[in-house]
Amino acid sequence: MVVGGGAIGLLSAFLLASQGQSVVLLERQLAGQEASWAGGGIVSPLYPWRYSQAVTALAHWSQDFYPQLGAQLMAETGVDPEVYVTGLYWLDLDDEAEALAWARREGRPLVAVGIEEAYRAVPVLGTGFTRAVHMAGVANVRNPRLTRALREALLRMPNVTLHEHCAVSGFIRDGQRVVGVHTEAGEIRAERVVVAAGAWSGELLAGLGVELPVEPVKGQMILFKCAEDFLPSMVLAKGRYAIPRRDGHVLVGSTLEHAGFDKTPTEVALASLKASAVELLPALAGAEVVKHWAGLRPGSPEGIPFIGPVPGYDGLWLNCGHYRNGLVLAPASCRLLADLMLGRETIIEPAPYAPAGRLG
């Protein structure tokens, strides 16, 4: 059983079911409607050199796997997640030297380029930037379509049952073992329960007396409609980014707010995001804002997710706490979870993500 129907829960269920496991997926709303829908979908941490090796290992594996995943889902469901390789320019970085040193150490194609080259590559870029670093090959995925493709894939699998609008209120225990969950529709039992409930994971675990340090961190974004060839590359400056979609939509984000579970978009954030958008890409001053929304990231210490069994609670597993990088880290995180649950050799060393020693 998987609790949570975001990208992490959907892909966890998909990989387990693909290995012959019978899977029940529970989602309190419609699948893919929370952080997985709200994010930007850059297939890289915003500043990968600022993260620990634990995040880097998951990110690298996922980046390499995404094109294959996109093609597989498109072939199986007819829904294209649009894994779109554009590259990414970072402008006027304060820690450029650290970024370049990280790239040399990790063997990643991040290089300093002349600012003139950046302006040639992205002619709509705002004036006044003086330095740029570029990483070729960075993609973005159209996250609402990714979750839709995963949902469709699960619906086609005979060994998967999807329950939407089915909120989980607590766990069923038999001694120290977790054997299912309580829902509004009654008890649902399972041999093993995976919590992949994003920002709500901490609240669920609290019902067992387990302190999982995962909390909601609000992020707001805006979407513009532009010509299809308006923005040829992703760009990032001063903590804000612009992401082009294939059809000309451009996302600009995002805020970082500690506001509990409040997802209300605010006028203050809208004004701030518009100002950032126009500073990055002045032509957006006259573009239509198609949508403005907010989502809740599952904040966690150092952004390192919890992947593995919960000590002292046999049958209870976690795949949550990905903070700003759920979409980036999903393929590797869910493959690691499946490896652990199926007793296979793991794709990467699992110890940094193990809940053991990290829970209160």
Alpha carbons 62 and 257: distance in angstroms, whole number: 27
Residues 194 and 163 in one domain: yes
Q: Which pair of structure tokens corresponds to residue 360? A: 């209160």
- Is residue 288 located within the same domain as residue 235? yes
Judge if 199 and 221 occupy the same domain. Answer: no
Q: Are 242 and 113 in a shared domain?
A: yes
Would you say residue 360 lies in a domain? no
Q: What is the pTM of this model?
A: 0.96
Give a yes or no: residue 267 inside a domain. Answer: yes
What's the CATH code of the domain at 190? 3.50.50.60
Angle at 126 between CA 120 and CA 132, to 5 degrees: 60
Mean pLDDT of the region 87-101? 98
Tell which residue, 250, 322, 258, has the closest CA to residue 12. Answer: 322
Q: What angle is formed at CA 38 by the lines to CA 48 and CA 88, rounded to 5 degrees?
A: 35
Answer whether residue 23 is part of any domain.
yes
Same domain assignment for residues 237 and 288: yes
Confidence band for 269, pLDDT divided at 50, 70 and 90: very high
**156 and 51, same structural domain?**
yes
Assigned domain for 359 exists? no
Q: What is the pLDDT of residue 242?
A: 98
Domain boundary among 299, 319, 340: 299
184 domain residue, yes or no: yes
271-301 pLDDT, tens digit each: 999 999 999 999 999 999 999 999 999 999 9
Structure-token pair, residue 288? 């239509």
Give the sign of the dihedral formed by CA 154, CA 160, CA 165, CA 168.
negative
Quick check: 332 pLDDT over 80? yes
Asked if the structure places residue 358 within a domain, the reply is no
State how many domains the chain has.
Answer: 2
pLDDT recorded at residue 151: 98
Q: Cα separation of 264 and 267, whole Å? A: 10
Q: What is the rounded CA–CA span in Å between residue 72 and residue 149?
A: 10
**CB 265, CB 292: distance < 8 Å:** yes
pLDDT band at 206 (very low <50, low <70, confident <90, very high): very high
On whether both 219 and 209 belong to a single domain, the answer is no
The string of pLDDT tens digits covering residues 50-70 is: 999 999 999 999 999 999 999
User: Residue 198: is its pLDDT beyond 90?
Assistant: yes
152 and 51 belong to one structural domain:
yes
Residues 256 and 277 in one domain: yes
Residue among 184, 175, 150, 187 at smallest CA distance from 316: 175
Do 224 and 326 share a structural domain? no
Q: Given pLDDT bands bounded at 50, 70 and 90, which one contains residue 360?
A: confident
Q: Give dist(CA 341, CA 194) in Å, integer.
A: 10
d(CA 202, CA 205): 5
Express each pLDDT in 95-154 by its tens digit.
999 999 999 999 999 999 999 999 999 999 999 999 999 999 999 999 999 999 999 999
Mean pLDDT of 195-205: 97
**Could you tell me the two tokens for 313?**
């609670």
Domain membership of residue 278 as a residue range: 88-136+215-299
Q: 277: domain CATH number?
A: 3.30.9.10
292 plus 305 within the same structural domain = no
> pLDDT averaged over the chain?
96
Distance of alpha carbon 191 from alpha carbon 172, whole angstroms: 11
Domain for residue 339, yes or no?
Answer: yes
Nearest Cα residue to 203 out of 312, 321, 295, 308: 321
Question: Does one domain contain both 155 and 284?
Answer: no
Residue whose entry in the numeric block shows the structure tokens 């082009």: 244
